[in-house]
Chain A
Amino acid sequence: MSELLLQLQDLHVHYGVIHALQGINMNIERGTIVTLIGGNGAGKSTTLRAVSGLLRPTHGSILFEGQPIHQLAAHRIVRRGIAHAPEGRGIFPNLSVEENLMLGAYARNDREGIRSDRTKSLALFPRLAERLRQRAGTLSGGEQQMLAIARALMARPRLLLLDEPSLGLAPQIVQVIFRIIRQINAEGVTILLVEQNAHMALSIADQAYVIQTGKVIKHGPARELLTDKDIQKAYLGG
């Protein structure tokens, strides 16, 4: 049994009167890739937002490395070691690629470490290295997604939250991005991945949670869910 990195316990989130998360329980082990799959509006992104502090849960708790973080503001959660590459990439269009990257390391003070992480991130995404001085808004969709991931890595996170990294990208680019996600994981970063492309997600993940209307309806090893009849019918188009 390996160590638990993140635990969600009976997590509830409301958007005004809308009860978006209705008691989510989740255990994420260190060093794994865990994916959340489910239809539109099921609560996948909401779960990520609650973890990174963009949303305040109305009930329940979130433990990261055993410490409760659900009362912390987003900018403090990053400092604990969780980076979130949000839905829609959230790059800063009027800033240069370089400035976007450096903002990822905003919470850090170790110049040496930042420099080496910058080198590492750029080695992971050589395309970005060629475009450091360019305005981030002029990048293609795939490059913006790469920037979003590279920027999140600049925080040197122990947990990386990825929200729909394949959205709107050409199949080849999606392949590249998923290969890199696996590479990041191999270096020891735990990954919580939200994806519409369930097939892709299940094929790289260790564990998977299926979310429907704010509840976990199924979870288990990703390999098993990939062959599960109900899951195939509902999310894998087969």
Chain B
Amino acid sequence: MTTLFIQSLLDALTLGALYALIALGYTMVYGVLGFINFAHSDVFAIGAWTGLLTSSLLGLSIVMGSQTVEPRGWEIFLVIPAAVLVCGLLAWVIQRLAYAPLRDAPRLNVLITAIGVSLLLQNVGQLPWVFGTDPRPMPRLIENPLLFEIQGVQVTLLPMLTIVAAMVLMVGLEVLIFHTRFGRAMRAVSMNPKVASLMGIPVDRVIDGTFVLGGALAGAAGVLFAMEYPTVQQPASNTWVLLGLKAFIAAVIGGIGNIRGAMVGGFLIAFLERFGAAAQQFFPGIISFDTTVYRDVYCFAILIVILLVRPAGLFGRSVVEKV
């Protein structure tokens, strides 16, 4: 029982860290522009693919289930920055080309554009000379040695690395947003862009910066995800949509637009998913159905509960939408 508990805990932390990283991108963009960037999960998918392709470029690849070149360890320091760079840049391009021209348009138009961008990325990604339509295995970037064992649970390097890397990124973001000039400008823009411009804040550049940040985090999350779950699905796969959707729910549960809320929401969703899936094993006499098949249902269920009980999310303040 303890073994199961610790295993679930570890899984939830790893997955939660990834959800939180993606959720931050949704919540930041919502904060400054007030719409849901549906293309965000595709940027995340492209992050994973960038990780895979850069690894291959560095000589790491997988043929018939075995790695052709053993990882030398330093590749990770090229692969993650590459994905961060590509996704940051991609997010910037999306913002400039698709969203910036619609700054004064009704929000619904922007929302529909976001769906359009998402479809575009998915379909371009499927082209044979881009990523193609077949899943590909992510080469190993680092060895995955056993770190320690508690209560029969073997804790290896990889999940720990995912958790630590995500934590470092989140702390970095927290510092950036709450303790720097850019962060202060970003929060000002999210509250009132007009007045922010009166302060001398270049609102357009702050919005661009927000997209770059969100994209960069999604890029990092993409590589970490591919390292943890090494079968990288094709860009239009349900996997990405579902992951993006759950991260979005995490952002909503935390209070959309709220940075800390997105982090907490990410972990909350992951805990629910993992412990929900293992519920049957925890209570073998009481729960007779297979709880693992419902693992995607729990987070949607909690979404409904939260929207009923605290529609502004756990950390959100409810604001009356002015017409």
- Interaction A to B: yes
A104 to B185, CA, bound (A): 11
Given A75-B200, A79-B200: A103 and B188 interface contact (C-beta under 8 Å): yes
User: Cβ of B201 and Cβ of A75 under 8 Å apart?
Assistant: yes
Whether A95 is near chain B, meaning CB under 8 Å from some CB there, is yes
Given the complex, which residues of A lie within 8 Å of B192, measured CB to CB?
90, 92
Given the complex, which residues of A lie within 8 Å of B201, measured CB to CB?
75, 103, 106
**7 A/B residue pairs, CB under 8 Å, sorted by A:** A53-B197, A75-B201, A99-B184, A103-B184, A106-B185, A108-B200, A151-B199
Whether A168 is near chain B, meaning CB under 8 Å from some CB there, is no
A75 to B196, CA, bound (A): 8
Given the complex, which residues of B lie within 8 Å of A78, measured CB to CB?
198-200
A102 to B185, CA, bound (A): 10
- Which residue from A74, A83, A92 sits with its C-beta under 8 Å from B197? A74
Query: CB within 8 Å of B: which residues of A?
Result: 52-54, 73-75, 78-79, 83-84, 86, 90-95, 99, 102-104, 106-108, 151, 155
11 new A-B contacts at CB < 8 Å, known A107-B199, A155-B200: A54-B198, A74-B194, A75-B199, A78-B198, A83-B198, A94-B187, A99-B184, A103-B188, A103-B196, A103-B199, A103-B201
Given the complex, which residues of B lie within 8 Å of A151, measured CB to CB?
199
- Which residue from A86, A93, A95 sits with its C-beta under 8 Å from B198? A86
Given the complex, which residues of B lie within 8 Å of A79, measured CB to CB?
200
A-B contact count (CB 8 A): 64
User: Cβ of A84 and Cβ of B187 under 8 Å apart?
Assistant: no
Q: Chain A: which residue is nearest B200 at the CB level? A: A107
User: Cβ of A92 and Cβ of B195 under 8 Å apart?
Assistant: yes
User: Cβ of B199 and Cβ of A86 under 8 Å apart?
Assistant: no
A118 to B49, CA, bound (A): 50
Given the complex, which residues of A lie within 8 Å of B191, measured CB to CB?
92-95
Write the nearest CB–CB distance from B260 to chain A, whole angstroms.
13
Write the nearest CB–CB distance from B320 to chain A, whole angstroms.
13
Given the complex, which residues of A lie within 8 Å of B203, measured CB to CB?
75
A73 to B201, CA, bound (A): 10
A74 to B189, CA, bound (A): 13
Q: Chain B: which residue is nearest A95 at the CB level? A: B187
Whether B202 is near chain A, meaning CB under 8 Å from some CB there, is yes
A226 to B191, CA, bound (A): 40
Write the nearest CB–CB distance from A160 to chain B, whole angstroms.
12
Range class of the B interface residue count: 10 to 19
A91 to B194, CA, bound (A): 11
User: Cβ of A102 and Cβ of B195 under 8 Å apart?
Assistant: no
A42 to B200, CA, bound (A): 28
Question: Hey, what's the 0/1 contact readout for B186-228 against A, CB within 8 Å counting as 1?
Answer: 0110011011111111110000000000000000000000000
Given the complex, which residues of A lie within 8 Å of B197, measured CB to CB?
53-54, 73-75
User: Cβ of B187 and Cβ of A106 under 8 Å apart?
Assistant: no
User: Cβ of A90 and Cβ of B184 under 8 Å apart?
Assistant: no
Given the complex, which residues of B lie within 8 Å of A103, measured CB to CB?
184-185, 188, 196, 199, 201
User: Cβ of B198 and Cβ of A74 under 8 Å apart?
Assistant: yes
- Which residue from B181, B194, B200 sits with its C-beta under 8 Å from A90? B194
Write the nearest CB–CB distance from B225 to chain A, whole angstroms.
32
Given the complex, which residues of A lie within 8 Å of B184, measured CB to CB?
95, 99, 102-103, 106
Write the nearest CB–CB distance from B106 to chain A, whole angstroms.
14
Given the complex, which residues of B lie within 8 Å of A92, measured CB to CB?
187-188, 191-192, 195
- Which residue from B181, B188, B196, B198 sits with its C-beta under 8 Å from A52? B198
Write the nearest CB–CB distance from A162 to chain B, whole angstroms.
13
Given the complex, which residues of B lie within 8 Å of A108, measured CB to CB?
200
User: Cβ of B188 and Cβ of A84 under 8 Å apart?
Assistant: no
State the 10 A-B residue pairs at the shortest beta-carbon distance, nearest first.
Answer: A107-B200, A90-B195, A78-B200, A74-B197, A106-B200, A103-B199, A106-B199, A92-B191, A75-B197, A75-B202
Given the complex, which residues of B lie within 8 Å of A75, measured CB to CB?
197-203
Given the complex, which residues of B lie within 8 Å of A52, measured CB to CB?
198
Write the nearest CB–CB distance from B306 to chain A, whole angstroms.
21
Q: Chain B: which residue is nearest A83 at the CB level? A: B198
- Which residue from A54, A83, A99, A107 sits with its C-beta under 8 Å from B194? A54
User: Cβ of A86 and Cβ of B195 under 8 Å apart?
Assistant: yes
Given the complex, which residues of B lie within 8 Å of A86, measured CB to CB?
194-195, 198
Write the nearest CB–CB distance from A48 to chain B, whole angstroms.
10
A84 to B194, CA, bound (A): 11
A95 to B177, CA, bound (A): 12
Given the complex, which residues of B lie within 8 Å of A102, measured CB to CB?
184
A103 to B185, CA, bound (A): 7
A93 to B202, CA, bound (A): 20
Given the complex, which residues of B lie within 8 Å of A99, measured CB to CB?
184
Q: Chain A: which residue is nearest B204 at the CB level? A: A73
A106 to B199, CA, bound (A): 6
Given the complex, which residues of A lie within 8 Å of B196, measured CB to CB?
103
CB within 8 Å of A: which of B160-202? 181, 184-185, 187-188, 191-192, 194-202
Given the complex, which residues of A lie within 8 Å of B200, measured CB to CB?
75, 78-79, 106-108, 155
Find the residue from B181, B194, B196, B198 having the highest chain A CB count within 10 A.
B198
